[in-house]
A and B are shown apart, each in its own frame.
Chain A
Amino acid sequence: MIEIKNLDFAYKADNVLKNISTDIKKGEFVGIVGPNGSGKSTLIKTMAGILPVHKYSVFINERDIHSYNHNELARNIAYVPQSEQFYPVKVFDAVLMGRKPYIGWAPTKKDHSVVIRVLKMLELEDIALSFLNELSGGQQQRVFIARALAQEAGILLMDEPTANLDLRHALDVLQLLKNLSDTGITVVIAIHDLNFAVRYCNRIMMLNNGTIFSQGGSEIMTSENIKKLYKTNVKVFQQDSHVFFIPE
């Protein structure tokens, strides 16, 4: 699905991503964790085709990302940025933008029904005709997630999708993403909340200073690893099959 081989990336002189290699399989739900500035957003943008990468470093469905044209890539990968400028447009129209890679002259019935379906999935029916700029931060974030879902892509990349959401909506969105990954959609998110990450993702990728510090299941979430990553002491608890963390 997404294969990264020895990826280096620099905005200016210094490499922000250093020799990243990973192989994300179809239907995986990957959570990227790591301190601020460790390169989570940058890594997601290189997978989304937003930042220019070297040839032979990022492969989507076994094809070099360079070999995709713009619309084709947008039909395969949907991306939600960490923050997005919002503008006065109705929620329905904002979500309809997710259909852009498919729309020729005008949106079809199918485009409209996809929009309505994802509006429902994110409980946005009631505000479908409100202006995006008049919504709360969490509502806006859900609109952007809805737009990404409307792309009907096999790969979903979301940069901190739950950052602005209240507890219930955060859990709902994560559960939704988990359900989608169960249907074979590959999901990669950046996320700060370790409890959420370990509970919903089936792979955690720890990023530190532009390198993959460790990746794997909940077994890598040890207090030593977390201490190395964040320079903070946390206690790891296990109850039933759940792992959770509390700062000391």
Chain B
Amino acid sequence: MTDLIHRKYKHYIRRKLLFLLAVIVLLVVFFFIGLSMGSINIHLKNILYSLTGLADYQDSVIVLNIRLPRILSAIVAGIALSVSGAAMQSLLRNPLASPVSLGISHGAAFGAAFAIIVLKGISNANTNFPVSTPYLISISAFFWSMVNTLIILTIAKLKGARPEVIILSGIISGSLFTAGTSALQYFGNDIQVSSIVFWLFGDMGKTSWNKFWVLLAVTIPATLYFIKNRWNYNALHAGDETAKSLGVKIGKVRMVGMFFATLASAVTVSFFGVIGFVGLVVPHIVRRFIGNDERFLIPASALFGGMFLLFADTVARVILSPVILPVGILTSFIGAPLFIYLLIKNIGRAYND
């Protein structure tokens, strides 16, 4: 009997590891497909040559300078959004928590609008070829979305880091920023307003090596922090009191976790615009396969999110080629049917629904 339980449990754990492995394989496959596909298709052989410095000039430029930073950025952005979403959902014990529902995107959108209209981030606004200063916009977007975080965490701190307080302040602060964005747009000219709208579409085309490295430098510590705290997050599922009795420093775990989650998603949104769906739904898709256990949920959400955003961005690049769509438009179009399919087909019973 003892052995039987143990064996069954090991088997159950092995299934989760298998899922992780499958996602890693898919990620690698999509990585090479992404490098190869685009307005010019490049043969796998030449991709490998480019990566090892043996290809001819044209292929190398396309692979190393254009596609590689974009693909790596898509992976890391997907990781950042999904892992933050998963962490927020656990920390707040709320399935609807995500970078978007906590107002991080709204803060960033306001910041972008602020940069474009108030700081004149779009110069030559009266010509047909506005020149934008993307770093100014990104910095402003980041600044304001961190203001949003500060508002949330300050209120939370005053109220003992209670989940419902954090969620409500996120929603309220987010709607405040939305109102602010509307107000700014009202005073902007046509070009400014359309720049804002355009900025809002999440688009991996805005990437650069610099952005990639910054994003990586934020995402790695955040992800490691979440992984380190996986047992704390598991305990939080049982409620604050039980978690406390199991040795979790509730206040600290929740505040620091929220800080990392909002930081990683704020950087992502500030660089690339609003990419909906990923942070909210990827953790739910993953839960259907491997359940609530944070030991697996956090790394699997990260990897699945990276894989998913890379896939979506590749589709966005090739589906109407040579026109490249912003990936923010596609994530929901691809993800929603997938999620509905899993839901209806009852794939994965690991999560309550």
Residues of A within 8 A of B (CB): 45, 48-50, 70-75, 77-79, 81, 84-90, 92-94, 97-98, 100-101, 103, 112, 116, 119-120, 125, 128-129, 131, 133, 151
Contact = CB atoms under 8 A, between A and B. Distances in A.
Nearest to B228: A105
B249 A70 contact: yes
B161 to A, nearest CB: 14
Contact of A84 (B6, B9, B239): B239
B293 A48 contact: no
Contacts of A77: 245
A180 B310 CA distance: 56
A133 B352 CA distance: 8
A75 B4 CA distance: 28
Given A45-B241, A88-B351, A71 B2 contact: no
B245 A48 contact: yes
Contacts of A112: 6, 9
Contact of A88 (B239, B248, B292): B292
Count class of interface residues, chain B: 20 to 34
B8 A128 contact: yes
A92 B5 contact: yes
Given A49-B244, A87-B238, 16 more contacts: A50-B244, A50-B245, A70-B249, A74-B245, A79-B241, A81-B242, A84-B238, A85-B239, A88-B291, A90-B12, A93-B234, A93-B293, A100-B235, A112-B9, A116-B5, A125-B5
B238 A98 contact: no
Which of B9, B245, B352 is packed against the most chain A CB atoms within 10 Å? B245
B9 A50 contact: no
A89 B293 contact: yes
Nearest to A87: B237
Contact of B5 (A72, A119, A131): A119
A81 B241 contact: yes
Contact of B246 (A45, A72, A74, A120): A74
13 contacts: A49-B244, A71-B247, A78-B245, A84-B242, A85-B239, A88-B350, A90-B9, A93-B293, A100-B234, A100-B235, A100-B247, A103-B231, A125-B5
A77 B235 CA distance: 16
Interface in B207-252: 231, 234-235, 237-239, 241-242, 244-249
Contacts of A103: 231
Given A97-B246, A129-B8, A81 B239 contact: yes
B129 to A, nearest CB: 55
Contacts of B320: none
Contacts of A72: 247
A75 B291 CA distance: 27
B1 A92 contact: no
Interface in B339-353: 350-352
A112 B351 CA distance: 24
A129 B241 CA distance: 25
B241 A97 contact: no
